[in-house]
Amino acid sequence: MVANIYLPYTNDKYQEIIIDGLIKFYNQGLNISINFLKKTSLHIPPTRIMQFIFMVVLQLAFGLTIAGIFPLLVSGKAEKARGYISNLNTPLLGKSTASKRMRQVIEPCKCELLDLAEHFQNHLFTGIKLREVDRIFLLI
């Protein structure tokens, strides 16, 4: 028997907070990408590697597996976030390429990725908290 897998819908307001965070940490993500390329001597554009850096950051921030973030992004339940990541370089490739590259960037950049994911997660939860506070004040 095959289990049904349900992916969470990420509403537009929260996707905007996600995108704001990715924009806020663009330079830090780009620096991690450049450092990764120096360590590995791969000939890939830094913005292409940054797509996988940001996918790892989202994976870590949301507590997903590597295999879990890609289906969420391509499911139509986080299309704005996927659109932003795709616009960094080229549209996202298939799941096997994404998984391979995500695994590839984790090991040499583990500390930087964890630091970025921590800052991104703080941005995300602060943004959500502020939106909820604004919503509560509108109800009063």
Mean predicted confidence (pLDDT) in 115-140: 77
CA distances from 130 to 17, 26, 63, 117, 140 (A): 11, 22, 22, 20, 16
Distance CA 61, CA 68 (A): 12
Rounded Cα distance between 99 and 67, Å, is 7
Instruction: Please say if the pLDDT value at position 112 is more than 70.
Output: yes
Report the Cα–Cα distance between both ends of the chain, in Å, rounded.
Answer: 49
**Rounded Cα gap, residues 57 and 71, in angstroms:** 15
When comparing pLDDT for 64 and 113, which is higher? 113
pLDDT at 135: 55
Model confidence band, residue 4 (pLDDT cutoffs 50, 70, 90): low
- Cα 131 to chain centroid, rounded: 20
User: 132, 21 in Cβ contact below 8 A?
Assistant: no
Confidence check: pLDDT of 45 > 90: yes
Dihedral (CA of 89, 92, 97, 103) sign: positive
Say how many residues make up the chain: 140
- Mean of per-residue pLDDT scores for the chain: 84
Domain ranges of the chain: 12-139
SS3 state of residue 116: helix
Cβ neighbourhood burial of 91 (10 Å; 0-12, 13-18, 19+): exposed
DSSP helix/strand/coil, 81: helix
